[in-house]
Structure 1
Amino acid sequence: MEHPAPLGRAELAALVARDIPPGAYVNLGIGQPTAVADHLDPASGVVLHTENGMLGMGPHAHGDDVDPDLLNAGKIPVTELPGASYFDHAQSFAMMRGGHLDVCVLGAFQVAADGTLANWHTGAPGAIPAVGGAMDLAVGARSVFVMMTLFDKTGRPKLVRECTYPVTGLRCVRRVYTDRAVFHLDGGRVHVAETYGITLDELRTRLDVPLDTT
């Protein structure tokens, strides 16, 4: 399906929220993915996990709802839903590493056609690495979704044949949600599910990866 304009951040977050299965246990990575919490249907039964120690996280908190002791992993004030629970980092990472999360949504610097993920360091001198729980999530979650812009600030694609940045996880990403298109990755095949403000021919011109629409 082709749409007339690129997606904004809120539109992209709503798109990701739409595709999270009902009743799933989900971790939202720091950055763009945290916005997904604001677009989940309360009736979906999705339970949000944050690696700093909470199950049952709700949308972002505003105004009088802000509690300085209630933050997500990105230090953004959040709300709690009925039944929310709290625990230490050891228990939280055991959930991540033990295969107890159905989906994680992560940001990325690069994703390769085979699903390899690079999202913790650009390798540039002086760049500050940000490992966090990304490596644990990439290998521990049953499904890994990436949410990012398709091109960086210089216009270079972030969906690539092979990652040139330090790798977070090998062949772990199943879906890539971007402002220009949604891609499903399967064994090295890159399927274009939807496009936004760009044609399939333009994608093929700007991306150095084989694209499949079947």
Structure 2
Amino acid sequence: MTWSRQQIAARVARDIPDGAYVNLGIGMPTLVADHVPLGKQFILHTENGMLGMGRAATDEEIDPDLINAGKIHVTEEPGAAYFDHAESFGMIRGGHLSYCVIGAYQVSQDGDLANWRTTSPTAIPGVGGAMDLAVGTRHVFVAMDLFTRSGACKLVKSCDYPLTATRCVERVYSDHGVFEPGENGFRVLELADGLGIDELRDRSGLDLADAR
């Protein structure tokens, strides 16, 4: 059985240390804010100008002025600060964020990241803060589904899509398990319950090393 989006987000949150300054990308990575483990505190940063973001807002908590970069209404933690885009990207480019969690179209076994456009002529490029985050953050985690709707594996030997950054991805969290890029291919750190590594090797076409 594969993991749900919420389970992936919770698994990512387990590996982020207490007190880390973290940026969460649009989509699945945003859910990490809702799964901060008990006893941990993350200082969450958004490109649109907030430090100290909390989990997603519900019902009476919704403030129309409090949104993250994905336009989702969020809560604020005590001591939250607000600033313009220049200050926000200055924090990213200055190396002040410890972790970022972002999505991807492809991740290569060398840790290359492709997440801003595909090669489809009809695709709209999604240029945003990912390039800055990929090179300006100390630890880059990817959260994504392992396979596309057509069945292609997003972990690849070499990216076919335009690169966001090279050799930046430290770990990949997916619905099938947790993977780590390395010199000799991907290492399997954990698999979802009931999944076998041999079956995954056959389906992905990758020579996966079992590091569990």
SS in 2 for 1:34: helix
Question: What is the TM-score with the length of structure 1 in the denominator?
Answer: 0.95
Letter of the 1:9 counterpart:
R
Within the candidate set 48, 52, 56, 1:52 is matched to 48
**Residue type of the partner of 2:150?**
T
Residue 86 (structure 2) pairs with residue 99 (structure 1): no
Partner of 2:130: 134
**What's 2:198 paired with?**
201
Alignment of 1:113-124 (within 5 A): 113-124=109-120
**Shift in Å, 1:41:** 2.9
The equivalent position to 1:79 in structure 2, one of 64, 75, 78, is 75
Task: Please give the secondary structure, in 1, of the residue aligned with 2:124.
Answer: coil
Work out the CA distance in 2 between the residues paired with 1:209 and 1:89: 40
CA offset digits 1:126-163 (Å, max 9, x no partner): 21111110000000000000000000001110000011
Instruction: Report the CA distance between 1:210 and its aligned residue.
Output: 2.4
Mapped contact 2:48–2:68 kept (Cα < 8 A):
yes
Percent identity for Structure 1 against Structure 2: 59
Specify every segment of 5 or more residues in structure 1 that has no aligned partner in the other structure, as ranges: none
Distance 2:5 2:142 in 1: 13
Q: In structure 1, give the amino acid aligned to 2:154.
A: K
How far apart are residue 186 of structure 1 and its match? 3.1
Instruction: Give the C-alpha shift of residue 44 in structure 1.
Output: 1.2
Q: Write out aligned runs for 1:1-214 (5 A).
A: 5-41=1-37, 43-196=39-192, 197-214=194-211
Q: Provide the rounded CA distance (Å) in 2 between the counterparts of 1:208 and 1:113.
A: 12
Determine the C-alpha separation between the residues in 1 that align with 2:108 and 2:84.
34
For residues 189 and 159 of structure 1, the distance between their equivalents in structure 2, rounded to whole angstroms, comes to 10
Partner Cα separation in structure 2 for residue 79 and residue 22 of structure 1: 19
Tell me the TM-score normalized by structure 2.
0.96
| SS of residue matched to 2:150 | coil
Query: CA 1:82 to 1:191, structure 2 compared with 1: closer, same or farther past 3 Å?
Result: same
Partner Cα separation in structure 1 for residue 49 and residue 38 of structure 2: 21
Aligned equivalents of 2:38, 2:125: Cα separation in 1:
35
**Aligned Cα root-mean-square deviation (Å):** 1.1
- 2:108·2:181 contact (CA, 8 Å) conserved in 1? no
Q: How far, CA to CA, are the matches of 1:98 and 1:187 in structure 2? A: 28
Report the CA distance between 1:42 and its aligned residue: 5.7
Q: Write the distance in 1 (CA, Å) between the matches of 2:153 and 2:81.
A: 40
Counterpart CA distance in 2 for 1:176 and 1:17 is: 13
Secondary structure of the residue aligned to 2:181 is: strand
Aligned partners of 2:124, 2:136: CA distance in 1, in Å?
A: 24
